[in-house]
Amino acid sequence: MMRTLLVRGMLAGLVAGVLATLFAYFFGEPSVETAIGLEGTAAHSHSAPGAHEHAEAAEEELVTRGVQSTVGLLTGVGLYGVAVGGLFSLAFAFTYGRLGTLRPRVTAALLAGGAFVVVFLVPFLKYPGNPPAVGQAGTIGSRTSLYFGFVALSLLIGILAAAFGRKLADKLGAWRGGLLAAGGYVVLISVAAALLPSIDEVPEGFPGSTLWTFRLASVGTQVVLWTALGLAFGALAEKALKSRDTVRA
């Protein structure tokens, strides 16, 4: 059964990745194109006469922008969806049956919602994504480390809160236990966010509308991904589990 759930999780992740790619292409790529245009204009205005043409001649474009925004986007988001789907199926296998008598669809939906908040939304609020032309090249390593470090910390606190809430639910009831666990997560992650350094490298004069559109599209892409993953995997898992129960009966 674990192998069946893993395969179905990866399949659901692939479907979710394709849907998220379509959303990102139609709603996110326009702001990326705008930011790239602004970056090119700024570089051209600050370069010495003839330096821009020389740099273009010396630097070959290995992957065109058209490929990046279509095939490259689909490949990246699709592989991410498959990987997340596999991990999601493992988390589902561990969670299912430990949240009471919830149906597989409901368990998958709750798990997807929690994962969206813990893995993406909370880290995004601390370190929001930026389009091209935002951020300094010399700080890419530190920014990446801080972001993924905060993701890992949020995930760890989320797992501890879930385990703590499960124990409290046995004593205080599911509602009170869940609220206390959620409150504990909020408090701990808020303290961690306050202690970690903030990053604000948005250049002066960068259009706020472009930044807002890009970040809103980033959130929307993740909403589509996790919603599709939860719904698709929930349906596939419920069908698999029902077939197993039928065979056992």
Q: Scan for tokens 């908040």, then name that residue.
A: 117
C-alpha separations of 87 from 11, 78, 98, 136 in Å: 12, 14, 18, 33
Question: What pLDDT, on a 0 to 100 scale, did the predictor assign at position 12?
Answer: 95
Question: What pLDDT, on a 0 to 100 scale, did the predictor assign at position 91?
Answer: 92
pLDDT tens for the 249 residues of the chain, in order: 788 899 999 999 999 999 999 999 999 888 888 877 776 665 545 545 554 444 444 345 566 777 777 888 889 999 999 999 999 999 998 888 776 677 889 999 999 999 999 999 999 999 998 887 677 777 788 888 999 999 999 999 999 998 888 888 878 877 888 899 999 999 999 999 999 998 887 877 788 888 899 999 999 999 999 999 999 999 999 888 877 656 555
Question: What pLDDT, on a 0 to 100 scale, did the predictor assign at position 69?
Answer: 75
- Secondary structure (DSSP) of 185-227: HHHHHHHHHHHSPP---PPTT--HHHHHHHHHHHHHHHHHHHH
Question: What pLDDT, on a 0 to 100 scale, did the predictor assign at position 46?
Answer: 52
Question: What pLDDT, on a 0 to 100 scale, did the predictor assign at position 246?
Answer: 61
Distance of CA 88 to the CA centre of its chain: 13
Question: What pLDDT, on a 0 to 100 scale, did the predictor assign at position 30?
Answer: 87
Question: What pLDDT, on a 0 to 100 scale, did the predictor assign at position 26?
Answer: 92
Model-level pTM?
A: 0.85
Question: What pLDDT, on a 0 to 100 scale, did the predictor assign at position 58?
Answer: 39
Burial of 158: CB neighbours in 10 Å, binned 0-12, 13-18, 19+ = buried
